[in-house]
Amino acid sequence: VISIGQPEHSVVTTCAYCGVGCSFKAEMRGEEVVRMVPWKDGQANRGHSCVKGRFAYGYSTHQDRILNPMIRAKISDPWREVTWDEAFAHIATEFKRLQYQYGRDSIGGITSSRCTNEETYLVQKLVRAGFGNNNVDTCARVCHSPTGYGLGQAFGTSAGTQNFDSVEHSDVVIVIGANPTDGHPVFGSRLKKRLRQGAKLIVIDPRRIDLVRTPHVEASYHLPLKPGTNVAMMTALAHVIVTEGLFDETFIRERCDWSEFEDWAAFVAEPQHSPEETEKYTGVPADLVRGAARLFAKGGNGAIYYGLGVTEHSQGSTTVMAIANLAMVTGNIGRPGVGVNPLRGQNNVQGSCDMGSFPHELPGYRHISDDATRDIFEKLWGVKLANEPGLRIPNMLDAAVDGSFKGLYIQGEDILQSDPDTKHVAAGLAAMECVVVHDLFLNETANYAHVFLPGSTFLEKDGTFTNAERRINRVRKVMTPRNGYGDWEVTQKMAQAMGLDWHYAHPSEIMDEIAATTPSFALVSYDYLEKVGSVQWPCNEKTPLGSPIMHVDGFVRGKGKFIRTEYVATDERTGPRFPLLLTTGRILSQYNVGAQTRRTENVVWHAEDRLEIHPHDAEQRGIRDGDWVRLSSRSGDTTLRALITDRVAPGVVYTTFHHPDTQANVITTDYSDWATNCPEYKVTAVQVSPSNGP
Ligand code: SF4
């Protein structure tokens, strides 16, 4: 709720929506936010913001927030309010019972990209040190896990290579599978500014996103590829660069393994990877692909920005590696204006990955099987750690359905709405004996919970978020937690109830532990952040002022690795019953499944999800603009209104997924990335037909 009173004091903190990580001055009257003012000294946003960060904070005081812990014996029982101590004792008893009855590996935890680094670190520590297994995963599983795998293979680290300032030095930019105008608005504005100054733009996207043509900005090339053909497109671009001799031999000889390059170059030069051949899959005219490849190779500093339109595919990791290949073959790594830049969706998806949220990695991306790394944590935590990777979220759900996985602690994540194959998620949750949901609201997942622990909002927290450019930003407590505890305190009290000797007095002590155990954070502390404002990791003895740009003198892995990227068509195929391909995205004013933005008292947020359909496809089906339509796939069906537009090509339909009623994940398939299990949300064969409404 926006107050009209005058502020009495202010606190600088960080936006809790997207991965840009804008800094705000929260102007306060007592415990009430008077207004959020974009902070002029914010190093990620420099005084700019979008509508979400500036206005959509009312959810913090929304009546839907649950403020007291609740338990119930069965999910069909009504909730019963209990004290915090009763809730913690109940969880400890249940989790211990499950491990006694079904084995050590029968329980696990899920961290959240919405929570702070410190909170995330504690959840993975609870699982590893308290549960005694590595069954910890993160909601990044369903968004940027292919970035982690793909960039890790090519460069040695999953981090984006640049800072946001870098775009001011770009001469040509590829945007693939991302819509910065809506998804990352403050970065989108900086990109548009650079384009207005004359930088060239290549958009690779099935949909004509805003950047393709907007006032004073026009892309040089829009490659409207068929959903699911990213790898074929990236390999075709590389084919042109290699066969026309446009590669940067000096860079490749100095920074990469030349024999690996030769092997890869021979692969991409094969005739089946030519634009003329790949046009058969991608649907993009070969001359456009050739023109775009020449522009990127010869146009000066070339940068690539990408989003979930790259990662949420069965070949998500392969596409990330193909993007890395394209950057290396053109020498576009290691200086301002270039690089490979994943646009992270959530405020702390980078941080949640950094903090050891994956079942195979300890904080700092070190494999759990590495004896020396385990030794560091074992000595500090006083426990013996399991050395085998644990279960990913989909594996936890499979194991639950099979009867071997029984208990789950979920912090800040609505897996029933966010994860693929809703029916399977529900079946997995229903099969467990103790599901603990720790969140702001009774979300859809909470329908299957036995314990509900109230969470706190970003306005009630101390901690840090790490944005898409690896910038560690302070989050400062603006108001007292309405539920009584910060999320880190809740996890600590759960750990204490389970017998762990944890005594953190403040999140700064958790950060001190992170710094002591994680080389890329070695010099990070709250005192240091007060001095410098924010810092981009790695921040250690070698780089005390942080690292705005990665791989300046050499790749983290030593030599950059060229990797063959064979295009394999997704198993999701169109046919007579489902002749159209559905892909999805976001709008500016809503955020993901809308849990926060829908709970802001402002009617402008309440735009509904629409199904974009090409005029030709609409006419064939007798659909008029605004009509209700039924959207069906092999997985399920839903109903929404049609928006007739040539932003999408014939054969492609598109919707956003902000409203629970849309149930986009009832439609999507259970196919996933071969390397990481990231779900293939961006390609679903569908049919659209007239409907009388829901
Ligand atoms: Fe900045 Fe993103 Fe927040 Fe908008 S949503 S204010 S761009 S961090």
Spatial strand order of the sheet with 534-536 comes to 463-466, 471-475, 534-536
Q: Which residues contact 355 (CB under 8 A, 6 or more apart)?
A: 111, 117, 120, 121, 124, 363, 514
3-state secondary structure at position 43: coil
E strands, 550-594, are 580-585
Tell me if domain 82-141+348-536 and domain 580-690 are identical in fold: no
Which of 370, 372, 415, 421 is closest to 393 using CA atoms? 415
Phi and psi (nearest 5°) for 638?
-150, 175
Most confident stretch, 41-45, 310-314, 328-332: 328-332
The amino acid occupying position 461 is K
Which residues does ligand 1 sit against, CB inside 6 Å? 15, 17-18, 20-22, 45, 49-50, 52-53, 185-186
For residue 139, pLDDT beyond 80: no
Contact 160, 470 (CB under 8 A): yes
For residue 603, pLDDT beyond 60: no
Q: Return the ligand 1 atom nearest residue 18 CA.
A: 2
For residue 157, pLDDT beyond 90: no
Q: Is ipTM strictly over 0.90?
A: yes
What is the rounded average pLDDT for all residues in the chain? Answer: 92
Which of 373, 226, 377, 220 is closest to 302 using CA atoms? 220
The DSSP code for 647 is: T
Query: Which of 13, 22, 182 has most ligand 1 atoms within 8 Å of CB, for mutation?
Result: 22
Q: Parse the chain into domains and list their residue ranges.
A: 82-141+348-536, 163-338, 580-690
For residue 21, pLDDT beyond 60: yes
Average of pLDDT values for 222-241?
97
Closest residue (by CA) to atom 2 of ligand 1?
Answer: 18
Look at residue 680 in the predicted model and tell me its pLDDT.
84
For residue 359, pLDDT beyond 90: yes
Look at residue 1 in the predicted model and tell me its pLDDT.
44
CA distances from 534 to 21, 42, 49, 160, 351 (A): 11, 9, 17, 17, 14
- Residue whose tokens read 């990213």: 230
User: Is 163-338 CATH 3.40.50.970?
Assistant: no
Measured CA to CA, the distance from residue 498 to residue 88 in angstroms comes to: 9
Look at residue 423 in the predicted model and tell me its pLDDT.
84
Look at residue 31 in the predicted model and tell me its pLDDT.
86
Look at residue 606 in the predicted model and tell me its pLDDT.
57
Measured CA to CA, the distance from residue 433 to residue 436 in angstroms comes to: 10
Phi and psi (nearest 5°) for 107?
-130, 165
Measured CA to CA, the distance from residue 8 to residue 493 in angstroms comes to: 34
Predicted TM-score (pTM) of the model is 0.91
Q: Where does the pLDDT of residue 419 fall: very low under 50, low under 70, confident under 90, or very high at 90 and above? A: confident
Tokens of 566: 């064979």
Q: Return the ligand 1 atom nearest residue 591 CA.
A: 5
For residue 499, pLDDT beyond 90: yes
Measured CA to CA, the distance from residue 52 to residue 58 in angstroms comes to: 11
For residue 85, pLDDT beyond 90: yes
Query: Which of 13, 55, 181, 184 has most ligand 1 atoms within 8 Å of CB, for mutation?
Result: 184
Measured CA to CA, the distance from residue 45 to residue 47 in angstroms comes to: 6
Tokens of 293: 């490849």
Look at residue 159 in the predicted model and tell me its pLDDT.
86
- For residues 419 and 466, the model is more confident at 466
Q: Where does the pLDDT of residue 604 fall: very low under 50, low under 70, confident under 90, or very high at 90 and above? A: low
* CATH annotation of 580-690: 2.40.40.20
Which fold, 82-141+348-536?
Rossmann fold (3.40.50)
Look at residue 2 in the predicted model and tell me its pLDDT.
47
Look at residue 605 in the predicted model and tell me its pLDDT.
56
Phi and psi (nearest 5°) for 70?
-140, 150
- Residue whose tokens read 């990695």: 361
Q: Where does the pLDDT of residue 3 fall: very low under 50, low under 70, confident under 90, or very high at 90 and above? A: very low
Average of pLDDT values for 576-588?
88
C-alpha 401 to ligand 1 mean position (Å): 38
Closest residue (by CA) to atom 1 of ligand 1?
Answer: 22
Question: Residue 98: how many CB atoms within 10 A of its CB?
Answer: 20
Measured CA to CA, the distance from residue 334 to residue 362 in angstroms comes to: 27
Q: What is the pLDDT of residues 390-404, one digit of tens each?
A: 999 999 999 999 999
Contact 288, 196 (CB under 8 A): no
Measured CA to CA, the distance from residue 486 to residue 507 in angstroms comes to: 10
Question: What are the counts of helices (DSSP H) followed by strands (DSSP E) for the chain?
Answer: 23, 28
Closest residue (by CA) to atom 6 of ligand 1?
Answer: 53
Q: Where does the pLDDT of residue 406 fall: very low under 50, low under 70, confident under 90, or very high at 90 and above? A: very high
Vertex 296, ends 294 and 300: CA angle to 5°? 110
Residue count of the chain: 694
For residue 662, pLDDT beyond 80: no
Q: Where does the pLDDT of residue 382 fall: very low under 50, low under 70, confident under 90, or very high at 90 and above? A: very high
C-alpha 186 to ligand 1 mean position (Å): 6
